[in-house]
Amino acid sequence: MPPTRPEDPTFTIGATERETGLSKDVLRMWERRYGFPRPVRGGNGERVYASSDVAKLRAIKRLMDAGVRPGKIIALDARALDAMADARVPTHHAVAASAVERDVLGLLRRHDAAALAALLATLLLRQGVQQFVQATVAPLNRAVGDAWMRGELAVFEEHLYTEQVQATLRGALHAFARHVGTPRVLLTTLPGEPHALGLLMVEALAVPEGAHCISLGPQTPVEDVRAAAVAHRVDVVALSFAACFPLRQASEALASLRAQLPANIALWAGGELARRLRRTAPGVLPLADLDATLDALRSVRVRGAVPVA
């Protein structure tokens, strides 16, 4: 472990927990089990962590979030961990698209919120809301997520990105306020799923297709989703699940909701996890990407019937 320099910031166990997302118990348990991290003791015998250890712990946590077991990587040095994170980030971007990504990531790192808001608004006006969601926001989400995964973006920078995109989409939707339309779509996520951008992306796709959307925002208990669906007389309940949401929890919650919902209300499940829901949720329509979502919405207009499963 590189020697710590006196000017290097040090972290208490509380600060290390906040910085890394790893609980105090896990930090103490790893220290005992793996001999890492190796805090020194402060004047009162409290643990004091070096910034290099905290950086390595963050890299380990990012890989854990992508499904890697800590025991397999804890002995690796920070460089090897970053290389492993890089290897997990698929290089799937066409050259053209990366110009916008480079600009947005640059503005996020320069903390230039005003220029970011202006760029997003310009792209939306140039492309129109549906194209903006599909051709700009979807790839940007991946670029921002991958940059966070590689430790190239801080959590607060990712948060700024989310807020700016949400503000841009909400601005467009509010400029188009409509109080009727079909199908009537209830949008939300279940408890434990904080990713709410997908809901707004679907709403921005659906409203221009004539749908009337009621968004409850993230984390609504299953029982309340049923009650809201009945109260708002909706045709569709549309839920979003990011890749990191536990599959079994999603399948069980969807099955329970399907059983509680009146049969005439369709249940759509979207988000990256939907790719893995195909076999596990009868009576639920998994829609993993935006093209499939648009097809489902357009088929309502063409066939006058809501696709159910």
Q: Which residues bind ligand B12 (CB under 6 A)?
A: 21, 65-66, 138, 141-142, 144-146, 148-149, 158-159, 162, 192, 194-198, 201-202, 238-240, 242-244, 268, 270-272, 274, 287-290, 293
Shorter beta-carbon distance to ligand B12: residue 10 or 220: 220
Q: How far is the CB of 143 from ligand B12 (least distance, A)?
A: 8
Shorter beta-carbon distance to ligand B12: residue 119 or 213: 213
CB 63 within 8 A of CB 27: no
3-state secondary structure of 88: coil
| Residue 238, both tokens | 């549309």
Shorter beta-carbon distance to ligand B12: residue 10 or 143: 143
Q: How far is the CB of 13 from ligand B12 (least distance, A)?
A: 18
Q: How far is the CB of 2 from ligand B12 (least distance, A)?
A: 25
Q: How far apart are CA 279 and CA 88, in angstroms?
A: 26
Q: Which residue is nearest to ligand B12 (CB)?
A: 270
Q: How far is the CB of 197 from ligand B12 (least distance, A)?
A: 4
Helices (H), 128-246: 129-131, 138-149, 155-174, 197-206, 222-231
Q: How far apart are CA 143 and CA 108, in angstroms?
A: 12
Q: How far is the CB of 275 from ligand B12 (least distance, A)?
A: 8
Q: How far apart are CA 75 and CA 87, in angstroms?
A: 18
Shorter beta-carbon distance to ligand B12: residue 4 or 151: 151
Which sign, positive or negative, has the C-alpha torsion 20, 24, 26, 29? positive
Q: Kindly list the strands in the beta sheet with 47-50, ordered across the sheet, starting from the edge strand earlier in the chain.
A: 10-12, 47-50, 40-41
Q: DSSP assignment, residue 207?
A: G
Residues 6+ positions from 67 with CB-CB distance below 8 Å: none
First to last CA, the chain: 54
Shorter beta-carbon distance to ligand B12: residue 59 or 239: 239
Q: How far apart are CA 102 and CA 242, in angstroms?
A: 24
Shorter beta-carbon distance to ligand B12: residue 4 or 166: 166
Q: How far from 54 is each of 8, 65, 148, 149, CA to CA, in Å?
A: 11, 16, 16, 16
Shorter beta-carbon distance to ligand B12: residue 14 or 194: 194
Q: How far is the CB of 196 from ligand B12 (least distance, A)?
A: 4
Q: How far is the CB of 43 from ligand B12 (least distance, A)?
A: 32
Shorter beta-carbon distance to ligand B12: residue 26 or 242: 242
Q: How far is the CB of 262 from ligand B12 (least distance, A)?
A: 19
Q: How far apart are CA 202 and CA 200, in angstroms?
A: 5
